[in-house]
Structure 1
Amino acid sequence: MSPTRTAAVLTVSDGVAAGTREDRSGDTVVELLEHAGFEVVARRTVADQRASIVRDLTELADLACLVVTTGGTGLGPRDVTPEATGDVVDREVPGLAEAMRAAGRVSTPLADLSRGRAGTIGTTLVVNLPGSVRGARESLTAVLGTVPHALQLLAGETAHRAETTT
């Protein structure tokens, strides 16, 4: 398995963390990633608490080149995944978040209410997906074709290397 094909999945949900809800969106994300050739090396669940999300994002970024979150991207009072992501990313990748919302908009105008972000922590790409199964599936599918190239660029594998002159 290429080191640029490792992924971690973080489900952000009070209900799933408490054991009162099934992690269907996390299952969907793992299935899509594995089908796309990623090795899912870690999977966690965390409650909707900003500090806990920050901790897990930081730890997972050390384990995988792609960290995908699901949940906590809406307008609810406890939806803080985008804020936690903003606390830890070095650089934003707004085009991925825009692509996810655009893809979701085909099915429902409610996709515009998703505040999911994408960015980098060092050489790791972080992508926030909605918590619904449909939203997670549509959003991840929208960017999955672009993600491998992004990971190659983050790993320094690019044909666009600057030439030095002497």
Structure 2
Amino acid sequence: MSIQITNSKNTKRSHPDEIWIGLISISDRASQGVYQDEGIPALENWFGKALSSPWHLEARLIPDEKEIISKTICELVDVIGCDLVLTTGGTGPSRRDVTPEATLAVATREMPGFGEQMRQISLKFVPTAILSRQVAALREIENHAALIINLPGQPKAIAETLEGLKDSEGKSMVPGIFAAVPYCIDLIGGPYVETNESVIKTFRPKSAIRNKP
């Protein structure tokens, strides 16, 4: 089972800096209609608040099957042309949790810093964060590359991972992983992504910051 927000195979980018984001929610029961998926709506809501530059979403809801996960990642990157692919679910130690393996099976290079930071954030809340096997990686094909990141499955954990931890005054205590995503997209040849700093402040070296007219 899969869902699509739009049919991008027949759609062109509305702006040169429009980022195309693929969302993959991985759950046997949600994909079978046993319960409502929460991962995709949570991410769509978060991007609505966080991004200030143009963006477009493609979403898929699929079961915990390694081959299906890998094929879906390849579809979103190779066929649709997504610059960023985020998965939710399937990163624990149970035998049905195969998202990291499926991600690395179609990756060209791993980006271990993202997984390390995600676990550091989650450890502030629960000691079982060390059981998470979330990975991030690049998939590079001719003339295109994308960043793929495995996120937690719970909406609250998704937001915490992306935004990081803030104190009562809104000051950052532990950086969220999305602070580094726009610069990574720059480095692999993708669009220039800008964010709403009240949600997440992007970090770029001064030499990489675009001068606005």
TM-score (norm 2): 0.70
- The answer to whether the 8 Å contact 2:88/2:152 transfers is yes
* Counterpart pick for 2:60 among 29, 41, 44: 44
Partner of 1:97: 115
In 2, Cα distance between equivalents of 1:32 and 1:127: 16
Unaligned runs of 5+ in 2: 1-14, 164-175, 193-204, 209-213
In 2, Cα distance between equivalents of 1:58 and 1:39: 20
Partner of 2:166: none
Identity of paired residues, percent? 32
Matched, 1:144 2:158: no
In 2, Cα distance between equivalents of 1:81 and 1:105: 21
In 1, Cα distance between equivalents of 2:74 and 2:105: 10
Instruction: Compute the displacement of 1:75 (Å).
Output: 1.1
Partner of 2:83: 65
- Choose between structure 1 and 2: higher helix proportion: 1
Aligned length: 160
Partner of 1:163: none
In 2, Cα distance between equivalents of 1:45 and 1:103: 26
Describe how 1:124-163 pairs up with structure 2 within 5 A. 124-141=146-163, 142-155=176-189
- The answer to whether the 8 Å contact 1:73/1:80 transfers is yes
TM-score (norm 1): 0.88
Instruction: Compute the displacement of 1:4 (Å).
Output: 6.1
In 2, Cα distance between equivalents of 1:51 and 1:70: 16
Matched, 1:76 2:94: yes
Instruction: Compute the displacement of 1:3 (Å).
Output: 4.2
Instruction: Compute the displacement of 1:31 (Å).
Output: 1.5
SS in 2 for 1:107: coil
In 2, Cα distance between equivalents of 1:19 and 1:103: 31
Question: More deviation in 137-146 or 86-95?
Answer: 137-146
| Matched residue type, 1:93 | M
1:113-160 Cα offsets, whole Å, 9 max, x none, are 110100000110000012122222222222111100000001178969
Partner of 1:21: 35
